[in-house]
Structure 1
């Protein structure tokens, strides 16, 4: 099939593999409203394509995704943030519910929203020098698009709490040891390895792959959507705080924040 560009995201096809590429290298592939919408459309498109048997989720240039565009986040009020985060949750659920396996290639940076973007992927390839983590507590908020729900299901509640509450990047070797990622490779090899793994999946029985992914959706007794709704509600309370405003202003001004707990 021909390649496709839909604004901030492009799709490239190679035999039975589709590469969905975030294409905002001048913004370190940070996401705004349009990019989230374009990415959701792209994932839906390749998942509906019977000729595509695996997807590589990549970032153009040297960075996978540096999270959300900071200036945009700083300017949003609670209602606007609520609407944006619900659209981002739709994107993550679209990846999670895809019956076409998704391999994320994480290089340079996978931070905050960029980190949470990788959680619903089926396999994750991480660069050995990549900044990978959820830093929201340093901004006066907390990560609320799966880090308290999807992440514990991957690494366990203890490691998830450590990552969320410290706001520190996880060492790539540690990410490998705790099964957060499938493997760690040199930075220059991330995209190629993600594509290679996706190509391997295209060789497997497509019905078996598709049904296995559907079966995984029934793994946990507590519905993920219920947990995500609780996470979202609590996050909106924090987003309206003075600490959230201080956290973003401090980051934009290049200084340490002074949080007040309100």
Structure 2
């Protein structure tokens, strides 16, 4: 059975982990996730993505049994591949929303950190517990968590390995919204649909400016912003938005066919999907 499933909801695709019981990352799931990310990155009709683990949980981390059997060189290669895969998810050009139910631990939280916005269930539990095993996060936890929460707060979570419940996660900025567990997917989809109705080129440029500008000095970030700002003026969406503003006032522009929901189709593999 496939470990990754894609569900198409009009311009939004739900990328669901499907490796029960814990959605633990093994080599098969990683390879399927990488293939799905590459396909979505090139899909012109996909305007937003939702990461989802299912009703029970998001993902409980890596396959520890498999990792314990690896030597240092094998671990290095496995880790490099997982970092590369998560980077592909983080670099998707369209907005990515994570819908977190149950547990998002270790590699599961590191994947959620690749999203642009995180919706968590009221009973969700998040954390980087690797230190309790005598190891450390290796798939972006030390880097993305620090950029999100700052050094001191991140070190607290990374060095203690403690779990964070949804209420605290919202307070410290680890997640952006908390809802009842049975509303996580629909809330994530609703936000993704809202973004999907926006101007795709401008959203992509904003994501690139924020993500890459944050890793550069202010002058470099401003230069990147200036270049992207100039570029979006040549797009059809910009022409539509500017004309609509002049003719009808602000907030009335409709971009492309993003507002149309073409229904829901489920795909149990990452090949031949319509996204």
TM bin (shorter chain): 0.7 to 0.9
Using the alignment, how far apart are the partners of 2:186 and 2:75 within structure 1? 35
Within-5 A mapping of 1:8-19 = 8-19=3-14
In structure 2, distance between residues paired with 1:61 and 1:35: 19
1:218 deviates by: 2.4
Counterpart pick for 2:205 among 211, 228, 234: 211
Secondary structure of the equivalent of 2:30?
A: helix
Deviation at 1:187, TM superposition (A): 1.5
**1:99-138 equivalence runs, <5 A:** 99-138=93-132
CA contact (8 A) 1:125 1:184 kept: yes
Runs of 4+ in 1 over 2 A off after TM superposition: 220-223
The structure 2 residue matched to 1:20, chosen from 3, 15, 20, is 15
Q: Rg larger in 1 or in 2?
A: 2
Verify the 8 A CA contact 1:29 1:60 in the aligned structure 2. no
Distance 2:210 2:38 in 1: 19
SS of corresponding position for 2:136:
coil
Which position in structure 1 is the counterpart of 2:81?
87
- The higher-RCO structure (CA 8 Å, 6+ apart) is 2
Which residue is 2:225 aligned to?
Answer: none
8 Å CA contact retained: 2:98, 2:188:
yes
Q: Is the 8 A contact 1:16 1:202 kept in 2?
A: yes
Residue 161 of structure 1, aligned match among 155, 163, 173: 155
Deviations 1:169-204 (A, max 9, x none): 112111111211111111221112111111111111
8 Å contact from structure 2 (residues 166, 178) kept in 1: yes
**How far apart in 2 are the matches of 1:58 and 1:74?**
27
Task: Give TM-score scaled by structure 1 length.
Answer: 0.79
Aligned residue number for residue 2 of structure 2: 7
Q: Distance in 1 between matches of 2:6 and 2:115?
A: 17
Mapped to 1, the partners of 2:166 and 2:54 lie a distance apart of: 21
Shift of 1:71: 1.3
* Residue of structure 2 equivalent to 1:193: 187
TM-score (ref. length: structure 2): 0.76
Number of positions where the alignment pairs a residue of Structure 1 with one of Structure 2: 217
Which structure 1 segments of 5+ residues have no match? Answer: 1-5, 224-262
Cα offset, 1:51, TM superposition:
0.4
Q: 2:266 aligns to what?
A: none
User: What RMSD over aligned residues (CA atoms) do the two structures have, in Å?
Assistant: 1.5
Separation of aligned partners in 1, 2:122 and 2:62: 23
C-alpha distance in 1 between matches for 2:174 and 2:85: 20
1:119-150, CA deviations, whole angstroms, 9 ceiling, x for partnerless residues? 11101111111121000010010112222211
